[in-house]
């Protein structure tokens, strides 16, 4: 299941969701949003540091693979939360490009 893909589809189908997402974009100028963004970026930093830790180095190949996939998915979700409209636009652009080539 691609959770974020579901948001893209929902965005295309729901005018109410589109309106609310645009309102969400306006919030990004507030101090509260700056704290929210800072926390999300801090989470990204913590995840990146994990790859350089001794704990990660000591994992076997399967455990490393699982952790990499988990962190990748969490990173995708953080990216979406930071820029939901940007993510949706990027997905729609990708769909359009693959339709033309297909």
For position 102, what pLDDT does the model report? 55
55-70: burial string, b at 16+ Cβ within 10 Å, e else: eeeeeeeeeeeebeee
Domain coordinates in residue numbering, the chain: 29-96
Q: Please say if the pLDDT value at position 101 is more than 80.
A: no
Mean pLDDT of 6-17: 83
Q: Of 86, 82, 92, nearest to 12 (Cα)?
A: 92
């Amino acid at each position: 299941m691609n959770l974020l893909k579901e948001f893209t589809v929902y965005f295309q189908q729901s005018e109410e969701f589109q309106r609310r997402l645009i309102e969400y974009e306006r919030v990004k100028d507030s101090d509260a949003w700056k704290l929210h963004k800072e926390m999300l970026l801090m989470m990204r930093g913590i995840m990146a540091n994990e790859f350089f830790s001794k704990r990660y180095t000591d994992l076997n190949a399967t455990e490393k693979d699982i952790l990499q996939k988990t962190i990748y998915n969490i990173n995708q979700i953080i990216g979406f939360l930071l820029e939901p409209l940007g993510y949706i636009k990027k997905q729609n652009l990708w769909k359009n490009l693959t339709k033309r080539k297909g």
